[in-house]
Amino acid sequence: MKKINIAIDGPSGVGKSSISNRLANRNHMIHLDTGAMYRCVALASLRNQISLENEKALLDLLDSINISFDKEKVFLNGEDVTLAIKENNISNFTSKVATLPIVREKMVALQQKATSAKNFIVDGRDIGTTVLPNAEVKIFLTASAKARAERRYNEYLEKGIESDYETIYQDIVARDYQDSHRKISPLKKAEDAIEIDTSDLSIDEVEEVVQDMIDKAL
């Protein structure tokens, strides 16, 4: 079977990881969650009390951490941090970490090296524009901030995570602004990407729309 790479971009809370996981399993591909990679860097920075202005300390941290995936779980130096990296304080700090040139340079290089053999579904904010500009399928998922906040709030409730809807909503609005206004690799739709508004679609419906695009590419 022909091997392709699929780039899925979009703002925070739009369901990129969930869709990517389902499609990866369905098509026997590998899902690379780049957002989780940046969140791991943010978590490690906070835990080690590293100032984002201390470039040498950040470089040492980037060289020392190991990020790995096992299906839907994310591991930082062997520790399962799947839930830890989704906390609001980590989400907000990730936007700051992701603006740093040394962090983006390191992460993008790792992402491009990992996906060079193809057969990957990669999701993030700059995949179609920076990481995989030659991906055979490019998708830009979007949804209203209200719809995304409701989904995340319900997700937290189901997982027993204490949360507040208004706080989640305001965090998403702030994250959107930070991601779309950063100088390096801002969140934006690639010119040749297909945009899908998921505000009123179920995850099953989104999956079928994207799967149709994958079938055509294959």
Determine the straight-line distance between the first and last CA of the chain, rounded to whole angstroms.
Answer: 8
CB 133 within 8 A of CB 15: no
The predicted pLDDT at position 184 comes to 83
- Cα–Cα distance between 51 and 113 in angstroms, integer? 28
| Residues 169 and 149 sit within 8 Å (Cβ to Cβ) | yes
pLDDT score for 186: 87
DSSP one-letter string for 1-55: ----EEEEE--TTSSHHHHHHHHHHHHT-EEEEHHHHHHHHHHHHHHTT--TT-H
Q: Is 73 helix (H, G, I), strand (E, B) or coil?
A: strand
Q: What is the pTM of this model?
A: 0.83
* DSSP string across 119-131: -EEEEESSIIIII
**pLDDT score recorded for residue 82:** 93
- Residue-level pLDDT at 39: 95
Instruction: Report the alpha-carbon angle 79-80-82, nearest 5.
Output: 140
- Predicted confidence at residue 153, as pLDDT, reads 93
Q: Residue 159: its pLDDT value, please?
A: 85
Query: 10-residue block means of pLDDT along the chain (218 residues)?
Result: 92 91 94 92 96 94 91 90 90 88 92 92 94 96 96 89 91 90 88 96 95 92
CA pair distance 55, 101, nearest whole angstrom: 10
34-47 helix and 55-64 helix, angle to the nearest 10 degrees: 120
Residue entry with tokens 């839930």? 83
Query: CA nearest 36: which of 77, 88, 94?
Result: 94
